[in-house]
Amino acid sequence: MADQVTEPMNDSATGCGASDSGGEREVLGRGIRLRSLFSLAFGTIIGVGWITVMGAWLSGAGVMGAIIAFGIGGLGMLAIGLCYAEMAAAYPVTGGEVAYVFEAWGVRWSFACAWFLGFIYIFTTSFEAISVEWVVSALVPGFGGPVIYTLLGQEVRLWSLALGLAVMAIIAIINYRGGKTAAWFQDLMTGGLIILTLVFVVAGVAGGSVANLEPMFTGTTPSAALAGVAIVLATAGFWYAGFDTIPQAMEEVESGARLRLLPRVIGASIVFALLFYCLVILATAMSLPRPQLLVAELPAAAAIEAAFASPLLGRVVLFAGLCGLITTWNALFFAATRIVFAMARAHMIPHRLAAVHERYGSPSAAVIFVAVMGAVGALFGRNAILVIVGGASISAGVVFFVVVLGVLRLRTTRPDQPRPYTVPGGRAFLYVSALLALGLAGVAAWEPFRAAGGRIPAEWMVLGAWSVLGFVFYRAAAPLRRTVSEERLRWLILSERDPESEP
């Protein structure tokens, strides 16, 4: 086993190996800039969904209904994001929610919250592995290859699956080489996404027609229009999830970074995402009449290509989607590994998953675990996408709710905790934010139940299975966890002074 390095009390260590004794605290390498935190957050929020699921948004809610749904969801996420900013600045450690919820509610709630956050991150990488073939097949017709099996009523093709698994391996290698390398790659891909999307939006709005926006809402009655908005809003927690990748990187931010700027970084990522979604919905809808738009496999690309009779512009959209897919994939993979690492370091799951690479300062064992789990999810094919979205939306709403309540609780129980940033508006703002998060969770849980006609929906069953796996992992780590005192556990999670060190 590699030599161990105990973390100095000034937190200047850059890495250490894993230990099953719980005697040392593993530390990741530093070097991530605040600019890269924006790329992580924005690049996570804006993935490929606006290309692959645009048809569902427009058919479910209509143009204006979809824009209203994303507007409401974005404002709600902005309120929740500011609560995250307060916690991230006060507890700048890897794992984010692991630390926040532990400090507020204890180890069991901390594990439960982190485990479901892990579901969001890990299986959204599966979502991206499935989606990459969708985009590449549009760029290279007939790419999929021979059918190798059928699952959930969907054919899974050889080259499609191979591509998803190959890109998963590449992203795993990038993250294996450390947070600084992953952040550099994220900056590069996010820049490409922004530039290509601007081309699409300008072309769509300038060359489209306002007449194509009709009907603005789904249905002919106010109740039908409201139901359409609710359908899209139910998944808002998923489409805006991403700003919460910032807390996962806090322990790796370069020394001397101004943590008081965190609310601006988080807020900017959410506001820019809100504008992005509204603009691409508008540009897509203006480019082509609704009947033609909804029969297209990838409406955004089909709309711009048909409006300008330009296959080149259609490919620009697809390349923008590919950039968005890679940015989300990389950032979520990064965040997933940090959550797994933080849980393992705190003995919530087997401690071997907290191993840190001596040279790169990366959570190497967690990288391998996430790559394997994400690859397993990718085996289920396209029909798994909506189940992942639904399950992740429910999980996100619950996690956000618990974190916001944690901010309220810590204002009372830890009033002297240094807070470089405090959410404005007092407790009233926090209560409103908590209600928004609870509302998102409730809508996300109810919508698949309604759609399933009262039967237990697939989303609930998947989350149930994930809960059982979490229970197994938590119990497996229990013997070692019982040997660690509460004070030492606080040190492992919160990076406070080691209670067993010399005074």
Other C-beta atoms lying within 10 Å of the C-beta of residue 453: 7
Q: Record the pTM.
A: 0.78
SS3 360: coil
Map 434-464 to HEC letters. Answer: HHHHHHHHHHHHHHHHHHCCCCCCHHHHHHH
Nearest to 342 by CA among 43, 110, 104: 110
Strand, helix or coil for residue 483: coil
- Number of domains, the chain: 1
Residues 46 and 242: their CA atoms lie apart, in Å, by 8
In a domain, residue 496? The reply is no
* Cα 50 from Cα 141, distance rounded (Å): 21
Does 432 map to a domain? yes
**Residue 151 is part of which domain span?**
34-482
- DSSP helix/strand/coil, 431: helix
Q: Identify whether 258 is part of a domain.
A: yes
Residue 243 lies inside a defined structural domain of this protein: yes
Q: Is 390 helix (H, G, I), strand (E, B) or coil?
A: helix
DSSP secondary structure string for all residues of 340-353: HHHHHHTTSS-GGG
**C-alpha angle 477/480/483, rounded to 5°?**
145
What does the alpha-carbon distance between residue 200 and residue 300 come to, in Å, rounded to a whole number? 9
Long-range (24+ apart) CB contacts under 8 A made by 459-466 are 459/387, 459/390, 459/391, 459/394, 462/387, 462/391, 463/116, 463/119, 463/391, 463/394, 463/395, 466/115, 466/116, 466/119, 466/391
Dist CA 175 CA 178 (whole Å): 5
Distance separating alpha carbons of residues 364 and 178, to the nearest angstrom: 9
Residue-level pLDDT at 497:
57
Does residue 85 lie in a domain region?
A: yes
Task: Return the amino acid letter for 193.
Answer: L
Residue 244 maps to a domain: yes
Q: Rounded to whole angstroms, how far apart are CA atoms 23 and 500? A: 10
How many whole angstroms separate alpha carbon 317 and alpha carbon 201?
A: 9
Distance (Å, whole) CA 201 – CA 205: 6
Measured distance CA(344)–CA(329) in Å, rounded: 22
Please give the single-letter amino acid code of residue 398: V
CA 50 to centroid of chain Cα atoms: 15
Cα-flanking dihedrals φ and ψ of residue 256, to 5°?
Answer: 90, 0
Compute φ and ψ for 217, nearest 5 degrees: -130, 160
Within a domain: 14: no
What type of residue is 466?
W
* CATH number, domain containing residue 300: 1.20.1740.10
Nearest to 343 by CA among 169, 108, 121: 108
In this prediction, residue 257 carries a pLDDT of 61
**Contact indicator for 7, 238 with CB cutoff of 8 Å:** no
In a domain, 61, yes or no: yes
Under 8 Å between Cβ of 47 and 130: no
Q: What is the pLDDT along the chain (503 residues), one digit of tens a residue?
A: 333 333 333 333 334 444 444 457 787 777 787 778 888 888 888 877 787 788 888 888 889 999 999 999 899 889 888 888 888 888 888 888 899 999 999 999 999 999 999 999 999 899 889 888 877 887 787 788 898 988 777 788 898 899 999 999 999 999 998 887 888 888 888 888 888 888 878 877 887 888 888 889 987 788 888 988 988 888 877 788 788 888 888 888 876 666 677 888 899 999 999 998 999 899 888 888 888 888 887 787 787 777 677 787 778 878 887 888 888 888 889 989 999 999 999 999 999 999 998 888 889 999 999 999 999 999 988 888 888 988 998 998 899 899 999 999 999 999 888 888 888 888 898 999 999 889 889 988 998 898 888 799 999 999 999 999 999 999 999 998 999 888 888 888 887 555 555 44
pLDDT of residue 498: 52
User: What DSSP state is assigned to residue 253?
Assistant: B
374 neighbors 123 (Cβ within 8 angstroms): yes
Nearest residue to 41 (alpha-carbon basis) of 15, 78, 92: 78
As given in the structure block, the two tokens for residue 272 are: 């820019």
Distance of alpha carbon 410 from the chain centroid: 25
Residue 405 C-beta-side C-alpha neighbours within 13 Å: 15
- Please state, as a whole number, how many other Cβ atoms lie within 10 Å of the Cβ of residue 206: 11
